[in-house]
Amino acid sequence: MSGGVDSAVTASILIEQGFDVEGLHMTNWNDDEPYCTAAQDHQDAMDACKELGITMHHVNFSKEYRQEVFDTALNELNTGLTPNPDVLCNRMIKFDRFAKYAERLGGKRIATGHYARNLQKNGKQELHKGVDNNKDQTYFLHAIDPKILPRVLFPIGDMNKSQVREYAYKKGLPNHDKPDSTGICFIGERPFKEFIQTFVPPKPGDIVNTDGEFLGKHDGLAYFTIGQRKDIGIGGMKNHSGEPWYVADKDMNSNKLIVVQGRDHPLLWKKNVFVGSLNWLDDGVAATIKNGEIIECEAKSRYRQDDAKCSFKALNDGVIVEFNDSQWAITKGQYLVFYKEGKCLGGGKIMSESYSSD
């Protein structure tokens, strides 16, 4: 029970289906800053459980989250990557420590308010996209241990957001109109750079274009990501076109931020990518690529993105992926997640935005 409407509706649906339901609220970040809504979320979760007439348990995983998710993200930032803590949180906390804690409480299965579907086909559990394409969250679930899927329920996976809110309103759930969470709790609505500077000290360097021309100064490469347009710190420049500047690369050796003009600049578009740290939810994929076969499917390199047709095959300790059409602002440290007819096959971490076997 996160305190949001999705988990409240999840609990209500399970009660209607005859399950013996108890709530479990997690605290994953202790922060007195007004940006973090942990205290309010806890209260909202209690109110929802009270309305539903179910017991609510509470567990604090802030220490584990700090060590296994946040510290990992900081390490990646310091090496030039752009991490995705939500993926790590699902793998390490929600579908690992949370599930084990629920089991110690006597829970036989766990359920969350994710927009995803856990379907059984041919005797196997498969993770499929939720019916609401705008809310589908399988991108963030691709890295969980597939062994846990038989114990997981996603009751709202067949609903869209408007149906969830309508259901909550009719049931009189107190958080039926609570706004969706818009970010990671420990950052909240505050600017990313403002927050992360507390943990990753500034390391100023030069901003240059592809010709090496000096354009300005940056505070630290960790504060930027590929494709970023806002807050680069350079405006209109003499002897340059009026097109906006975008981050195209981060040179960790020279501590230089490389920028280009125009969204269509060739450096922002890639057809090949190398992916490592793979996690397969479909065991057939691992066997297929181990035999040297090529798999054709779709993939996305960020959450808010349409699936793109591609093919991939094994290479060293990862896979080399070739897209049918060039993809924009592929970013090291983010995840590439693979799909086949709506089924999430798994995915891995982008280790190189482009790759050549030559």
Each residue of 267-296: pLDDT tens digit?
999 999 999 999 999 989 989 998 999 999
Return the CATH number of 202-263, one of 3.40.50.2000, 1.20.120.420, 3.40.50.300, 2.30.30.280: 2.30.30.280
Residue 56 per-residue DSSP state: E
Residue range(s) of every CATH 2.30.30.280 domain in the chain: 202-263
Residue range(s) of every CATH 2.40.30.10 domain in the chain: 269-352
Catalytic (active-site) positions = 89, 185
Question: Residue 298 pLDDT more than 50?
Answer: yes
Query: pLDDT tens-digit profile of 300-321?
Result: 999 989 999 999 999 989 999 9
Residue showing tokens 């807050």: 231
pLDDT level of residue 36 (50, 70, 90 thresholds): low
H or E stretch at 254: none
Encoded tokens for 2: 């996160």
Length of the chain: 358
Query: pLDDT tens-digit profile of 170-227?
Result: 999 999 988 887 666 656 666 777 888 889 999 999 999 999 999 999 999 999 999 9
State how far the Cα of 193 lies from the Cα of 209, in Å rounded to an integer.
22
**Pairing between β-strand 269-280 and β-strand 295-300 as defined by DSSP bridges:** unpaired
* Count helices and strands in the chain by DSSP H and E runs: 10, 16
State how far the Cα of 239 lies from the Cα of 63, in Å rounded to an integer.
52
In 172-320, where does DSSP find H-type helix? 192-196, 283-290
Of 52, 35, 36, nearest in space to 1 by CA: 52
Of 272, 314, 319, nearest in space to 292 by CA: 314
Query: pLDDT tens-digit profile of 80-106?
Result: 999 999 999 999 999 999 999 999 999
CATH 3.40.462.20 for the 5-171 domain, yes or no: no
Of 111, 145, 118, nearest in space to 15 by CA: 111
Q: Is 35 left (phi over 0), alpha (psi -120 to 50) or beta?
A: alpha
Question: Residue 255 pLDDT more than 80?
Answer: yes
Tell me if 89 sits within 8 A of 65, measured CB to CB.
Answer: yes
Task: Give the HSE-up count for residue 104: Cα atoms under 13 Å, Cβ half-sphere.
Answer: 9
Over the Cα atoms of the chain, what is R_g? 22
Return the CATH number of 269-352, one of 1.20.1250.20, 2.40.30.10, 1.10.10.410, 3.30.70.270: 2.40.30.10
Residue range(s) of every CATH 3.40.50.620 domain in the chain: 5-171
